[in-house]
């Protein structure tokens, strides 16, 4: 048997991630769901994987910008091969989110001087609300945005997501806020078009109407981020994530948001009735003494007297 190439390994890992997410959904939403009561029950869930939803390093958080610490050693985020065009994609509505992964592998990655490795792109997914008044998992000074995208990357040191879950430096997730307005985001057009063909839960293999580059999904100054140690924001809430929440939001129109809000869940909450997939966000978790760093300098801020220059602690 010929050896498996790195691109084939990446494609297989992405496919496996999609399959596991879909399988989780097919087992029933009784495992977990959103809403105040649902989220409070997450730490008591009986999961095959280790449940860390009650841990001290949970995500998301409310980012108090005045309490953040400038870390000059971190350096700007570096996006490798983010200009690579994604033509074929797996799009999954698993009842909890919409997830997009490359169907034929990807060479995209993210790194930074202060991050403990190079992190290979795996998939991206979204969180949004029933209205644009809320929808994001992370908050900034108590303020939510209309939608948040998570670009998930795994440490090349570990190879698979399953192994990466076991290590505090296993994943880097880049969080991108979307601010609602009249003008649409052209980078989302091909994805929005595909969503209109998959209202209910299933996996859709599509050839995007227009090839999508990950770079096009990013806002301006995408190298600037708030960085902290945290977790996955869904069960099992593995505390294996270094978060890089971008400082600046991207744009999205209300019409584009409606394509997400029209997606349906087959029914898994208490009423067991089909309903729209909205408000799929976890509320902010306590910091428990964690520090939130930023890799950009406010300059005029006196708080920068407390600047540090060290690698991201894990």
- For 37, residues 6+ apart whose C-beta sits below 8 A from its C-beta are none
- What is the distance between the alpha carbons of residues 314 and 311, in angstroms, rounded to a whole number? 9
Q: Token pair for residue 72?
A: 């000059």
Enumerate the active-site residues.
96
Q: How many residues in the chain?
A: 314
- What is the distance between the alpha carbons of residues 153 and 102, in angstroms, rounded to a whole number? 13
- For 149, residues 6+ apart whose C-beta sits below 8 A from its C-beta are 124, 125, 126, 175, 176, 178, 217, 250
Q: Token pair for residue 9?
A: 């390994």
């Amino acid at each position: 048997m010929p050896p498996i190439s790195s691109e084939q390994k990446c494609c297989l890992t992405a496919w496996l991630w999609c399959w596991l997410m879909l399988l989780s959904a097919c087992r029933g939403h009784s495992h977990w769901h959103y809403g105040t009561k649902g989220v409070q029950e997450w730490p008591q869930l009986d999961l095959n994987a280790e449940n860390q939803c009650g841990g001290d390093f949970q995500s998301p958080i409310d980012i108090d910008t005045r309490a953040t610490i400038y870390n000059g050693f971190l350096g700007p985020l570096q996006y490798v091969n983010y200009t690579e065009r994604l033509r074929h994609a797996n799009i999954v509505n698993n009842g909890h989110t919409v997830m997009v992964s490359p169907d034929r592998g990807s060479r995209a990655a993210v790194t930074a001087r202060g991050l403990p490795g190079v992190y290979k792109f795996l998939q991206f997914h979204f969180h949004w609300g029933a209205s644009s008044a809320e929808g994001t998992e992370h908050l900034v000074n108590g303020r939510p945005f209309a939608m948040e995208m998570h670009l998930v990357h795994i440490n090349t040191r570990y190879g698979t997501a399953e192994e990466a879950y076991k290590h505090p430096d296993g994943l880097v997730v880049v969080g991108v806020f979307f601010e609602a307005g009249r003008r649409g985001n052209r980078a989302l057009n091909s994805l929005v078009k595909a969503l209109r063909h998959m209202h209910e839960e299933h996996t859709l293999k599509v050839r995007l109407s227009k090839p999508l580059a990950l770079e096009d999904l990013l806002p301006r100054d995408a190298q600037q981020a708030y960085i902290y140690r945290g977790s996955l924001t869904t069960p099992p809430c593995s505390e294996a994530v270094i978060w890089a929440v971008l400082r600046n939001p991207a744009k999205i129109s209300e019409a584009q948001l409606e394509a997400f809000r029209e997606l349906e869940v087959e029914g898994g909450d208490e009423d067991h009735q089909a309903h729209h997939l909205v408000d799929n966000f976890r509320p902010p978790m306590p910091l428990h003494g964690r520090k939130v760093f930023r890799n950009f300098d406010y300059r005029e801020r006196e708080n920068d007297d407390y600047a540090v220059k060290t690698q991201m602690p894990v």
